[in-house]
Structure 1
Amino acid sequence: MNLPTPAIVTQAGARRLPRLALLMLCCAYVLPGFIGRDAWRSADMAALGFMAELVQGSSNWLLPTLMGTPTDNPAVLPYWLGAWAMQLAPNWASADFMVRIPFGLLLVLAMTATWYGTYYLARNPLAQPVAFAFGGEAQPADYARAMADGGLLAFIASLGLAQLSHEATPALAQLGFSSLFFYAMAALPYRRHGPAWAAAIGLIGLTLSGAPTLALLFGLGSAVLHFADRESVGSDTTRKSHIVQEAIAIALLSLGTTVLALSLGLLRWKVEWPEATWSEWNGFVQLLVWFTWPAWPLALWTLWRWRRQLFNRRISRHIALPAWFALMCTGATLVSPSSDRTLLLALPALSTLAAFALPTLKRQVAALIDWFTLLFFSGCAFIIWVVWIAMQTGVPAQPAANVARLAPGFEAQFSFLALCIALAATLAWGWLVKWRVGRHRAAIWKSLVLPAGGAALSWLLLMTLWMPLLNYAQSYNALVQQTKDQLDESGCVETLGLGQGQIAAFQFYGKLQLKAMQPSPSCPWLLVEPLADLSAPLGIDLSAWQLQAIVRHPASTGESVLLFKRQ
């Protein structure tokens, strides 16, 4: 029997996820990682350095620099947001914490846009479930709301989202603005003014955040899909005319953002074609598999189950639009030097596609997802707790020895508040597992509850129980403090070859006055990036400088510096 749609959903299956539970899940995912830590290596720290120089007036707002060096990412808006947050920071708040507030709001924007984007795509007539002969099928609004809950759960469950979505970097700004444009194109058939403003802000924000090429591709492709969707309104010539006008406006807006990028010097050719080697392609495939899990298998299932609707005479907007976004991001990932940060932008679209797989999943597949998720995230939580106990008590001995070997010099810290939060999260996970194995088979989003809850649990446990250890290993503070212990009070240091993250750390956390190395030394100290064998690079006048110490990051041998003193 050829059904008009593969979705068969009853009204009971369209029950929505309780709003309080969804809100608590989002808070448990968003807040940890933005609170209680220093900037981490190295993009997170480098971005903070660019923002600080804007505030100090030592950098051009249209061309942010760090010690005169421009950014690797052709972006300006993310650094403006961080600099404005610093300028508005009260005396009692640390600058690095205030910087994270607008980026935390950008993550909230991405979540909200993913929910509403999925909701409006699910309102598409071609996305509606099969109508039953005697009634009882899901009502359009209820069905769309349940699908949106599933899309948001798939977004939170994505493994690659956790760390990159909690860094104050251009990647998170790109995620927020691309999600906003995705929502705009999903909602445009139903609302006009709100999505129009969202489309303009999304494309301009994405361009100013360092992704002008993707903004152009998103815009032009969406304009074509919107124009092709004019057949869905039947014989309504007025609405067809509006759709054509909207498609032209979106295309012109996309071209306008490209002109804006050219005028600001943001359009840079950064394509790096992958090498035709097994290791290169194997790494790319592994990134796709783990970074977008569990959205990608569900997205592929959606494309298969909805294939007849996708290639029908009428455009299936609910499949074609997220497929276009996901395809562009995946292609850009293949040729991008920062592949994981580019792939991050595909997660809202992949999550939406994953949601449309839910009404078509068989019970055996749903059970397989549940059991895999239960074992995986319960195992992760168990490991996190065991290592934390070992750090606090020394028992078991092997995990404690591993921590001492990987992070020498680290001293465990106990936080009663962190312990209470971690215990509450673990108990909530136990309750969620009990709920899922109970008789709650109706809701179509049920298969993504455990993946989203497990991802939030693991991230929260890491950001509470392991926060001191991760902060010690991932920040530059230990390296900066060891270096400062050997300096005098002048604070004047010349540098040679340091990375942007290291420069920002020594300036922001070390309060050092850094200068590029001069032919005639003007500072009593010199910091140098060593070669692979920890030797000094060429270009240092050893008659003027004497090696004082080799300062190593305790948890990362690749973050060592050579400290020279002027003779």
Structure 2
Amino acid sequence: MNLPTPAIVSQDAVSPLPRWALILLCIAYVVPGFVGRDPWKNADVTAFGYMLELSQGRTPWLSPLLGGLPPETEGLLPYWLGAWAIQAAPSWISAEMAVRIPFAALLVLTLAATWYAAYYLARSPGAQPVAFAFGGEAAPRDYARAIADGALLALIACLGLAQLSHEVTSYLVQLSCTALVFFAVAALPYHTLVPAVALGVGMAGLTLAGAPALTALLGVGSMAVIVYAPGSGTDRRLRWVLALAAATLAAALLAGALDLWRWRIVGVASGGKEWQSLTRLLLWFGWPAWPLALWTLWRWRRQIFSPRGHRHLWLPLWFSMVSIGATVTTQPADRALLLGLPALAALAAFALPTLRRSVGALIDWFTLLFFTVSALAIWVIWVAMQTGVPAKPAANVARLAPGFVPQFSLIALLAALAATAGWCALVWWRAARNRAPIWKSLVLPAGGAALGWLLLMTLWLPLLDYARSYQPQVRSVVAALGPSPGCVQTVGLSRAQVAALQYHGGLSLQRARLQDDCNWLVADLAAWPASERLVRASQWELQATIARPTDKNDHLLVFHRAEPAR
């Protein structure tokens, strides 16, 4: 039985979001965070350290090392991308900026793939709105564009996307490749070449980024969705299944050849997961997409379980379920949940044709209050940092970031003023009159998320760099070592600390050995006194204890080799 859809949409309700506004929103979201900041701890600076080692030829391409340690994840593609970018960049571009260029392109690719995936899912026969008796219902293409606009807005609005999507790590590569696979399967009923290329690139990239098991799950599940809910062109169902099977098998063989298969399941009994913190993560990370996705499942529940099957529901549902399953069973949880955001946003977009006016008004008012208050707080604290007034926020900054010296940037101020003015104009547009487009309820969440991220990455960037990078601590270490320290031994340093000392300090580091000619030693406080297997502690004199200004538990010890006893 062909059940009617719950979407009742007129042609007036699918007027497109102006392309210039959508592109400007994406630029405002993508560019901040990739420009002008230091590598942050821990994953960001660690990945950058491996890229730098590869680009300078100090470590093998198939088994990179940083401070004698292999990467914590098996994915090689992110390090290759960063190393190639450093090697290809002209001399006037810094290494840290060079590695961000391909990763910024990956974020753009993620946004574009999400839009097109939602567009083709909305073109499915089962997703179409109810036909009116006397006409006037939304045209299929216009309806699909409106749903795709809503999906992109929902993705940008997700709170958990901002920081992780602006780091040069394997997780952004995994996110973009997951979005590519999602788009490829969604577009298969309508095109052949482009989805086939996207499928091959996405699955190979996801495997090389360290997620072969996820690749296999997405491939097998997508085959099941095609069999159960093929959409249009059911006569080509076998061809699509074979294409997916070939891509999945090729990705599995590639993972086997590079020894990328690893067991990463975290046992609940071992205490690997704290359910309270996991619940909080699930609640805020995908906000506001997950409440809308649940509403979609409720309003479209009859279509989900109909014998015919509806690919616009099952495909994003499967991708979201795989991501949530990985979140519950693997570490780190937030990185696993990140990969499900494109599918979750697409699923949330299908709630828009079914939202009641009261629900839309509630979303608008909550978003307006939340992001306006947040933006106001960012501005007040910035003014306090620059002028000392109000006194209490200035005192809080001085207490939490001792030694921080505020910096003023005219370019950052102008960008923040422009973003704030844009937010005010957006609020005025939304409140001026009752708007018809179905994507209207996600304009304020997406605009508010972009505003908050841009303000943080402009007004607060010096403070965040001071708090989240290793540069202030490394500067003090270099001062303690003095000019031309030569080789420096290390004990107990993390990969992130090694990368920061090598890049910010320009130091030549070696892992500690009993027989070594180095006169200096840098150790993490938690690893000292060092084991006699590494160094003889009696041979070293403590010169300085250097803390990260914003972390009382992060101390580096600087030692100098004692003179031989006479």
Say if 2:513 is the partner of 1:518. yes
Q: 5 Å matches for 1:154-193?
A: 154-193=154-193
User: Which of 530, 539, 544 is equivalent to 1:544?
Assistant: 539
Partners of 2:98 and 2:197 in 1: CA distance? 27
Q: 5 Å matches for 1:65-84?
A: 65-84=65-84
User: Which of 362, 381, 395 is equivalent to 1:387?
Assistant: 381
Judging changes above 3 Å, is the alpha-carbon distance between structure 1 residues 263 and 115 closer, same or farther for their aligned structure 2 residues?
Answer: same
Q: 5 Å matches for 1:307-346?
A: 307-346=301-340
Partners of 1:522 and 1:26 in 2: CA distance? 53
The Cα of 1:427 is off from its aligned counterpart by 0.9
Say if 2:503 is the partner of 1:508. yes
- The alignment's TM-score, normalised by the length of structure 1, stands at 0.96
1:273–1:334: 8 Å Cα contact kept in structure 2? no
Q: Which shows bigger deviation, 371-380 or 246-255?
A: 246-255
Percent identical pairs in the alignment equals 56
User: AA paired with 2:27?
Assistant: C
The Cα of 1:555 is off from its aligned counterpart by 1.0
Aligned to 1:43: 43
Partners of 1:290 and 1:362 in 2: CA distance? 23
Aligned to 1:5: 5
Aligned to 2:242: 248
User: AA paired with 2:443?
Assistant: V
Partners of 2:438 and 2:127 in 1: CA distance? 14
Q: Aligned-pair RMSD on alpha carbons?
A: 1.5
- The alignment's TM-score, normalised by the length of structure 2, stands at 0.96
Aligned to 2:251: 257
Q: 5 Å matches for 1:144-163?
A: 144-163=144-163
Aligned residues: 558
Say if 2:223 is the partner of 1:223. yes
Partners of 1:278 and 1:180 in 2: CA distance? 31
Partners of 1:378 and 1:440 in 2: CA distance? 21
The Cα of 1:288 is off from its aligned counterpart by 0.5
1:148 aligned counterpart, secondary structure:
helix
The Cα of 1:341 is off from its aligned counterpart by 0.7
The Cα of 1:3 is off from its aligned counterpart by 6.3
Aligned to 2:15: 15
User: Which of 259, 266, 271 is equivalent to 1:272?
Assistant: 266
Aligned to 1:236: none
Aligned to 1:405: 399
The Cα of 1:241 is off from its aligned counterpart by 4.7
Q: 5 Å matches for 1:524-535?
A: 524-531=519-526
1:114–1:348: 8 Å Cα contact kept in structure 2? yes
Q: 5 Å matches for 1:283-302?
A: 283-302=277-296
What are the superposed Cα offsets for residues 361-392 of structure 1, whole Å, 9 maximum, x if unpaired? 00111111111100100011011000000000
User: AA paired with 1:66?
Assistant: L
User: AA paired with 1:390?
Assistant: A
Partners of 1:278 and 1:56 in 2: CA distance? 37
Aligned to 1:211: 211
User: AA paired with 2:105?
Assistant: L
User: Which of 349, 352, 355 is equivalent to 1:358?
Assistant: 352
Partners of 2:228 and 2:190 in 1: CA distance? 16
Aligned to 2:142: 142
Partners of 1:273 and 1:8 in 2: CA distance? 46
Aligned to 2:24: 24
Gaps of 5+ in 1: 234-238
The Cα of 1:542 is off from its aligned counterpart by 2.2
2:15–2:146: 8 Å Cα contact kept in structure 1? yes
Aligned to 2:371: 377
Judging changes above 3 Å, is the alpha-carbon distance between structure 1 residues 279 and 58 closer, same or farther for their aligned structure 2 residues?
Answer: closer
2:491–2:530: 8 Å Cα contact kept in structure 1? no
2:537 aligned counterpart, secondary structure:
coil
2:267–2:329: 8 Å Cα contact kept in structure 1? yes
